[in-house]
Every structure is written in C-alpha cells, then in structure tokens.
Structure 1
C-alpha cells in the first residue's frame, strides 16, 4: 500500500509511559528496511517506524490512521512480530509495571530479544571500514614521529584500541598512553604500542544503573515468562508444543538457582500487578 494512501493526520500519543518504544542501537533508516516483508506488512512497519516513541500503536488507533481494518492489522502485526521487528511485554519502572510494545527497525532473532529482556544487548560492530581506532593509530606519527606505524601495524593494533574505547576511553586517553614518557630512541614503535595498550588498559566501566526488569509476553495468550522460551514471540503451548523448550541452563546442564528465584519473583510481581 503506498504511503500516499495513509492518513497524514497527527498520530496520537499513548498515555505517559506507554506506547511505542524503540530498541537500542538502531541503525539509520533506509528505503529497503522492510523489503523482506509482504507489501501490506512492509507499509505498516514503515509507518510505525516513522512514529516517535510514545505513540499509540494499538490496533484500534492504527485502524483510524491506516487503510486497514482491525482484523487485518492484528494479522499484519503478528507477522511483523514473527519476523522479529516487534515484541510486547511489561517493564518495571519505579516499582510499577508498565505495558510496553518494543519496535526494532532491524529484524531480530529470539536470542537477541532474550538478551534485550535481560538488558544485555551488545552494541553492534560497525561495518568493516577504517574505524575510529585505525584512524587514531594511522595518525599517531603526526602526534610523535617516533611512533609512526605501518598499515599492517595499525590493523594488528586496532582491536586493542577498540577495547579502550569500549571501556569508555577517549582519543586523548589513548594518545597519552602511547606518546607520554617515550624512551629515546624508540626501536620498535609497534611493539611498544602493543605493550602500552595492554599494560595500561583501563578497567571495565561499572554499570551504574541496575539492569531493567522486563518480561516479554506471548503474542497470542499474553502470558509473561522466559523470553528465551518464546519462539517468534509465541510460547510453547500456543505453538502446540506441550513440553516446550528447556529452560536455559549452565554448562553443567543446570539452571542457576539465583536466576530461577529472580525470574519467579518477577513473574509473581507481574501477575499480581495485572490483577490489581
């Protein structure tokens, strides 16, 4: 369905704290973001993608702005979810459980959504181009001629500098570590750089904010539970799987006791809030 057929009336926001929420580390928008979806689903996904966070993306509201009925929209949203663009669930903020609908411009698999539920989504690596770390190393000779590096040296040392950046260091921190107090003369700049990047590596940053308390829900029955037990957003019983997949286990084959207790407490709290 062409965008020209969509309503351009202002799309309403949901109540404060509800509505659409974009997932972290979204890449820039492109024309072919939803080319893998059928035309109707692609048009609906593109429309939702353009909406700001907090927008009301309930079926009833979307039906007022898109040329589809509520039944067609439910079907389309379920397909968009199965591909990995959308998940529904609940998140605890300030002791209160809030209904959430998370939308991802990039189609994510079940493992990614399980990591998202834990608040443990890694920042995606950029495409293989000349990275920020490589550029810093290549320009090191202009900072101090004694530390001039070859192309091969820069490529070999890039992962070490990227680890500094991952730990919160800035360019000036890396430059200071590589150029301050140099011996005279410098016989092997690449070996010296490797030694300093390794020995002076800063500690990992402390996580100041606690991990989010989230529960993803089954798309069909709405039951909260393990995100890593949902397959394409649906629980085992709704898929017709009586036993369902096994709960995530450690290398020894046992589920960590602390995780079981934490998850049980989360589910009890979620169910209690739904009854109130």
Structure 2
C-alpha cells in the first residue's frame, strides 16, 4: 500500500497592504493614529495638520502663506481644512492686538486634541528637573595672578584728507557748423547711421543721431573727409562699448580738426610784432601797430 504524501498549499500573498518601514534618524515628524485615521476629518485636513506639525516654530500658517507653499491646493480648500482642524481641536486661532494697536492672528497647533493629554503634556513641560548634587570641589592652591599685560601703544591718527570741494569743469559743448546746410547735415546723419555696419556696438537711436549730426557737419566744414571722420570715431574703441553716443560725442569734441581750411571770414587773425615798438598785435600781414601807425601819420603834419 502506497504511503500518502502531504502537499503544501501554494503561497498566496495577502490582499491587504504590506508595509516596508525604514527607521528615520533625522527630519521626521511623529503623528498619532488619532489624526491619520480620524473618522471625521477629510484627507485634506489630515494632510494639512501633518504639514503644519512638521513646520518649525514661527512659520507662517495663514491661508495665503499655505497656498503659496502648497500650490496644488486652492485657498478655499485650505480654509475649509483649517476650519475642520479647528473644530476637532487640532488648531486654535485667536485675534490678538499688539501694544502698537496692530491686530494679528495667533495660531496654536496641537498634536493631540484630548484635553487630558494636553494637561499631561503641559505638566511634563512645566515640571522642573531636580539638579544633580555636585560634589564640593577640593581646595586648590591659588596661583599667583599674572602681571597685567602691557598696553600696546596707540597708533598715530591718520591725517584727515579734506573732501574735494572743487567742482568738475563743465563738459565742452558739441561742435556746431558755421553754415548748417541741409546737404551737409544729411551727409553727416548718413555717416552716423552707417557706423553700425562697421562696428555692431555703435548702434544709435534717432534722438542720438539728431544730437550728433551737427558735430559731424562741423568736421565736414573743416574739409575732413567721411573716411577721416569714420576712422576718428571707430579707431581703438574700448571693449565693450557701453555708451556709444557719449563716446562719439567725446571724440567729435576733443579731436575736432583745426580751422585752417575754413573760409577767410572765419579764420583767426594771426599775431604780428610791430616793426617800430616790437609789441604784439593781430593783423593779417606784418607791419606797425595802431599806435605807431598813428604817430607816423601825424608826424608830417606837425
């Protein structure tokens, strides 16, 4: 007769939840099951209570502050959850007036709504610990006091430098053409517009072009060619060019060519030395000054 064999039933995993727990050693919050399994609180209220209990003291827990911290929930849903927690004893909000007269909300979070548990927690918090008796120290020979340290010599006070009182000299004005002809101004404006094709950092606005156009026209009046003006404005530029209009204004003013090529009406009268008294005077040709010339003219009549 064959012996009977016991066949083990195949293993079937349970249909409920399985827990895989890891022990936390930092950044964790202890929450009672009375909160996590509360039969009357909504999931939103339970999650909000857990979030508030995990915050440090002094954190903002107003509706707008929580809505900014929890963007997935609306202000209406957060306000409803706060009311639930307040009704079931997990939260208490009171209006307090400061000595300055400002009214603010004082919020107290409770991790347990049971009054008996609250009294026990307060008793454990208030009850002072008995200090441990410390043994009387054995007398030790007192060493001789060290000599007082020598006081370091105070450094001599630095001489005070007076604040500068002189004002900066005003900036020289932009050169202006003596005869601002429309053709001259148009050519000057075209030159300024074309500077950005030569250097990408020399981009000017319409207002800046209108302001700088007379300066370029003044160069043209002094027989400066467009190539010479373009070279003077774009040669050896600092990098990066942060203020192109101010840089071009400075170069047009400082590097303005002399007026030797201007018409005779606009040329400066040169200095001459008098043939008789050797004094300096302004005249287009060498000769005598006005005093010597008048004396020589009056001499034959005398």
Q: Larger radius of gyration, structure 1 or 2?
A: 2
TM-score, with normalisation over the residues of structure 2?
A: 0.27
| Structure showing the higher helix proportion among its residues | 1
Question: Which structure has the higher relative contact order (CA within 8 Å, separation 6+)?
Answer: 1
